[in-house]
């Protein structure tokens, strides 16, 4: 799976229990569908921190906001399975 482009990014910050839950859900879904994903800590980026600090976790699909706070598994599976672009909630 390392040869695949990363389709899903979870913006997170340390100590965020919702971020941990989101990463676990994304990891499971991405594994099921054979999709590459990664976690990005926003505290390492002042711009991301200013924009998203109150909304993490934020789930990006193909560079577009797909969800925040919680992963809606049905929506994420649908967008990754259909190959459609993300639709903001």
- Using CB atoms within 10 Å of the CB of residue 79, give its burial: 0 to 12 exposed, 13 to 18 middle, 19+ buried: buried
Total number of domains constituting the chain: 1
Per-residue three-class SS string for 21-84:
HHHHHHHHHHHHHCCEEEEEEHHHCHHHHHHHCCCCCEEEECCEEEEECCCCHHHHHHHHHHCC
pLDDT digits (tens, 9 = 90+) for 15-65: 999 999 999 999 999 999 999 999 999 999 999 999 999 999 999 999 999
Find the domain containing 21 and state its range. 6-82
- Res 2: pLDDT: 54
Q: Is residue 87 in a domain?
A: no
Query: What percent of the chain has a predicted confidence (pLDDT) above 90?
Result: 85
- CA dist 75 and 43 (Å) reads 27
Q: Is residue 61 in a domain?
A: yes
Please tell me whether the overall predicted TM-score, pTM, comes out greater than 0.85 for this model: yes
């Amino acid at each position: 799976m390392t040869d695949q482009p990363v389709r899903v990014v979870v913006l997170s910050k340390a100590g965020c229990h919702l971020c941990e839950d989101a990463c676990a859900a994304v990891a499971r879904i991405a594994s099921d569908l054979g999709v590459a994903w990664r976690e990005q800590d926003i505290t390492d980026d002042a711009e991301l921190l200013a924009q998203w600090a109150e909304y993490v976790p934020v789930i990006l699909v193909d560079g577009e906001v797909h969800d925040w706070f919680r992963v809606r598994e049905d929506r994420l599976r649908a967008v990754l399975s259909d190959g459609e672009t993300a639709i903001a909630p």
